[in-house]
Structure 1
Amino acid sequence: MPLDPHKYSIALLDCLTNIKEYTIKSVCKASLYSEEDVLNLWGAAERFVQNFPVLVSQQKEYINVLGDTCRNLWPSEVRRLPWGTILVCIPANAIIPLAIILPLALAASGNRIVFAFSQKIREIGIQVLNKIETCLGDSLFVWEGTVRDVVDGLIEPEPHIDLLYYMGGSSQYPAIAEKCARNGVDLHYEGEGRTIALLDHEMSTPKLYASAQNILLSKVFCNGMMCSSPNAILVHRESFSEFTKAYESLCEGPYKLSFLDSSLADLRNKYGTEKPKLQTDKSPCFWEVDLPTALNAEELFCPGILVAAYDDIDECINIIAKTRHKLQISLFAEEKSLLERMISRTGFARYCLNMNPALQDPCLPWGNYGSSGFSDVSNFYEKGLRKVIIEGTGQ
């Protein structure tokens, strides 16, 4: 049965306090993120746990309203019940501690959770879980093999789980969805999301520079590994040169970042030599590409961006509206009217005006629009419960 949300929140917050120093040091060492960035992530995770009782209350209120609607027809009841056993697959580019702490709400919903980590983050993931499991008892387990092994081993030839919560690239979705459907396993799939920054065609030089600075700060946060960190930057052709010069000057700052060697090699093969030319892998950079390339590129998950020029703002909006996996768009404009035009003509999960925050509030809905993520529920408590309807008096 679901845990008491207030007791769960207090117990987990106490546990997080005890492991905070150890976890932050371990994450910084394993990921090469700055301590300041990891502290920000930790703060977001703590806010989620603190607000967990409110999320539960809001969900119960929604269910009560739904039940009242049904009762107008005949006696009925709507309940949210645990799935049972949930397999949580966490990819190599997942942001710890958020990637572990947020799914713990699935356990608070009354489920048994099996974590499967990609090899890169496996050691730190297990270490953190070992220190957290004391407050959640015997509801947490770790799969010893790879993510691919666990998907095969726990779903086929005989299902051992009730729900698969999978984070990974959207290219893998069809095969995983088919496997789950074939074996009667439900699926919450969090795939990729396209994150775009669009600069209006009428921007002053100070605004243009401020936009470049805002985008850069988002790209250097956690080495650009956040889903909300923009990949495609669209700039009007008349301002293109001015923007790229401003961005290049900002890239020369004293940043301590890290590209994966293989990722950087792949990007160079696709887009050529980056600007500014990296002498080491410790600097943000960008590639100048055409509009279709920028909008169709996969998530970069590094401190690099793709910058493309457009000629007409309305035509650009029409092209953006046709892209897949529309997760977030950041609009930099002198007037708010552009935001309203974007909302009415495109479908993104998140709109930002004159800002590009790399950190997403974990208590807010995220994704599941325009094929960005595929999951149709907004927070981790909801993900851990299935809805059942009971009708009739039983007499």
Structure 2
Amino acid sequence: MTALAHTETPEIEHALRAAFDGLRAGFEAERDPGLAVRLDRLRRLETMVTAMAPAMAAAISADFGHRPAQVTQLADLTPVLLGLRHARRHLRGWMKTRRMPTSLIYRPGHNRLMRQPLGVVGIVSPWNFPGLLALGPALAALAAGNRVMIKPSEIGPRFSELLREQVGAHFGADEMVVVTGDADLGRAFVALPFDHLLFTGSTAVGRQVALAAAANLTPVTLELGGKSPAIIGAGADLERTALRLVAGKLLNAGQTCIAPDYVAVPRGQVQAFVDALRRAHRQLYPTVATNPDYTAIATERHYRRLLALLDEARAQGAEVLSLHDEGPSDAARKLPLHVVLRPMAAMRVMQEELFGPILPVLAYDDVDETIRHINAGDRPLALYWFGSDDAEREKVLRQTLAGGVTVNDTLWHIGQEALPFGGVGASGMGAYHGEWGFRTFSKETGVFHQHPLAGTRLLYPPYGRVFQRLSALIRRIG
């Protein structure tokens, strides 16, 4: 059996350890798989993803209550398939041992850099983009020659079970395994002695994962979240900007870790911008509750949390506007985009990552004011700037620090295989995608090759005049 189903709490640790030990044994039997083996695993993963695409879309939609198949195609399937294609195309070069520069004083010796698999990689993936955030890291880990163990979110049980079955059908128990279960299983999972652990989820849970991994000195990549700002800068086209911002904000109904969490707008343009947002919302989603293109909020608890955030903002004096004629649909768990005007810093809408179709609007008089606001909080996972003033753009980019940036649009930096994707500070640590994923799951080993005629014997004891002269020469020319 190549996958582990949910087990009762007393059996979790034993069952997980047995699955982990199977992967460890597979790695020990083949510590440095060659190019052909790695390509075969990537091809099998592509075959699996392609074959399960319709079932994946149906399972994810059922887990959410409703999510358009097109969103799964755009955000879960296509990025994984493109990532697989990119990895296969570049894998030979990534694996190549590189000759590195060697200082004159160490010649005729020479340096090389080897990239070696780490061993067994653990991946904890969330419910919001369950295909992308489980299989994106997995393809990077497989490309790097590792064995992989995935724990998907229990909030998406249908997709998790589908993934468990499909991985079991396409990979051996010593190659890649999916384990499914609740929070107890999750806690036991992150306590395993992985060679690297990647977690995608909330900052609060990420801290717990880092603490659990630290007990084993397991290095971690944490892809978290936070309050990602959008800035409407000088020269921004309000209609185009509003359309792109609404499209990014409402993809997956805002249940996206890099969705714009609030927007800063020049004070004199706030009303015009809100009007443009309203037009964009109605253009993209003429209806909400019955619209097959609009995603439901994934759980009743999360839906009620969003409504409570809006109620609290109203009660504390903010102006809350629905940008659609329709109100919230309790039956469908669908919520149209709401903007919050004049939010105060102490409100939860300005303290918590919203993860839904709520967009606070901050008015500013000078872009420096917005820069100070961003820098006063935790470093965000994403930042978005809209405008045509190159000097202002560079000022914003250089005086803030975010995990990644898209200029004059939202979200699209996550799809670039030639760029790293990762957080900074409270929004995460480490990065993957493309070669950065390969390197994250590899040990870059420096190797120095000494030459038979090396003069280092002159530095051996007993120390005397020759040693002093040679060490002085090394300091001058090294």
Q: How does 1:124-203 map to 2 (within 5 A)?
A: 124-138=159-173, 139-152=175-188, 155=191, 159-200=192-233, 203=236
The amino acid across from 2:397 in the alignment is: I
3-state secondary structure, aligned to 1:381:
helix
Distance 1:194 1:282 in 2: 20
Partner of 2:321: 275
Equivalent position of 2:291 in the other structure: none
Q: Relative to 1, partners in 2 of residues 1:226 and 1:250: Cα closer, same or farther, differing over 3 Å?
A: same
Shift of residue 50, structure 1, vs aligned partner: 0.5
Match of residue 296 from structure 2: 258
Q: 2:133 aligns with which of 88, 99, 106?
A: 99
Distance of 1:119 and 1:268 partners within structure 2: 23
> Which blocks of at least 5 consecutive residues in structure 2 are unaligned?
1-31, 289-293, 315-319, 453-478
The amino acid across from 2:125 in the alignment is I
Q: Matches of 2:242 and 2:67 in 1, distance apart?
A: 22
Letter in 1 for 2:303: L
Partner of 2:43: 10
Supply the distance in 1 between the matched residues of 2:207 and 2:52 (Cα, whole angstroms): 38
Q: Is the 8 A contact 2:190 2:212 kept in 1?
A: no
- Residue 326 of structure 1: CA displacement? 2.6
Alignment correspondent of 1:224? 254
Give the % identical residues: 17
Give the Å deviation of 1:322.
Answer: 3.6
Q: Match of 2:336, as an amino acid? A: S
Matched, 1:368 2:407: no
AA matched with 1:386: K
Give distance in 2, aligned partners of 1:12 and 1:152: 26
Give the deviation of 1:196 after TM superposition: 1.5
> Contact 2:61–2:69 at 8 Å: present in 1 too?
yes
Q: What SS is found at the alignment partner of 1:183?
A: coil
Is structure 2 residue 337 aligned with structure 1 residue 284? yes
Alignment of 1:66-81 (within 5 A): 67-69=100-102, 73=106, 74-81=109-116
| Shift, 1:76, TM fit | 4.2
Establish whether residue 345 from structure 1 lines up as the match of residue 384 from structure 2: no
Report the residue type matching 1:170 in the other structure: T
Contact 1:117 1:146 in 2 (8 A): no
1:147 to 1:49, Cα distance in 2 relative to 1, 3 A: farther
TM-score (structure 1 length as normaliser) = 0.85
AA partner of residue 429 (structure 2): F
Q: Deviations over 1:131-169 (max 9, x none)?
A: 2444433312233433453433662xxx44332222222
Q: Which residue, 381, 386, 390 being the options, matches 1:327?
A: 381
State the secondary structure of the residue aligned to 1:234: strand
* Counterpart among 260, 263, 266 of residue 236 in structure 1: 266
Quick one: distance in 2 between partners of 1:375 and 1:250?
Answer: 35
Gaps of 5+ in 1: none
Indicate if the aligned counterparts of 1:33 and 1:223 stay in contact, CA closer than 8 A.
no
Could you say if the C-alpha distance between residues 304 and 169 of structure 1 is closer, same or farther in structure 2, counting changes exceeding 3 Å? same
Q: Bigger radius of gyration, 1 or 2?
A: 2
Match for residue 19 of structure 1?
52
Question: How far apart are the structure 2 equivalents of 1:331 and 1:232?
Answer: 12
The C-alpha deviation readout for 1:59-89, integer Å capped at 9, x for no partner, is 446x615x34589834444322222222211
Distance (whole Å) between structure 2 residues aligned to residue 362 and residue 100 of structure 1: 17
Say if 2:116 is the partner of 1:116. Answer: no
Partner of 1:386: 443
The one-character-per-residue Cα deviations of 1:190-219 (angstroms, maximum 9, x if unpaired) are 22244211112555xxx2232222111112
Deviations 1:317-336 (A, max 9, x none): 23223432332222122433
| Separation (CA, whole Å) in 1 of partners of 2:301 and 2:146 | 38
Work out the number of aligned pairs and report it. 386
Q: Give the match's secondary structure for 2:415.
A: coil
Q: Closer, same or farther in 2 for the Cα pair 1:143/1:394, shift >3 Å? A: farther
Shift of 1:339: 1.2
Q: Quick check: 2:60–2:158 contact (8 Å CA) kept in 1?
A: no
Whichever residue aligns with residue 266 of structure 1, its letter is R
TM-score by structure 2 length? 0.72
Q: 1:257 to 1:165 in 2, by over 3 A?
A: closer
* Mapped contact 1:234–1:291 kept (Cα < 8 A): no
- Residues 211 and 332, structure 1, Cα contact 8 Å, conserved in 2: yes
Q: Please say which of residues 177-186 and 286-295 is displaced more in the overlay.
A: 286-295
CA separation in 1, counterparts of 2:442 and 2:296? 38
Q: Does 1:43 align with 2:105?
A: no
Q: Alpha-carbon deviation of 1:3?
A: 5.3
- 1:85-108 Cα shifts (integer Å, max 9, x gaps): 222111233x03212221222133
C-alpha contact 1:326 1:348 (8 A) present in aligned 2 = yes
Question: Equivalents in 1 of 2:104, 2:154: separation in Å?
Answer: 50
Cα displacement (A) at 1:46? 0.9
Contact 1:291 1:309 in 2 (8 A): no
Report deviation, 1:230.
Answer: 0.7
Measure how far apart 1:233 and its partner are.
0.9
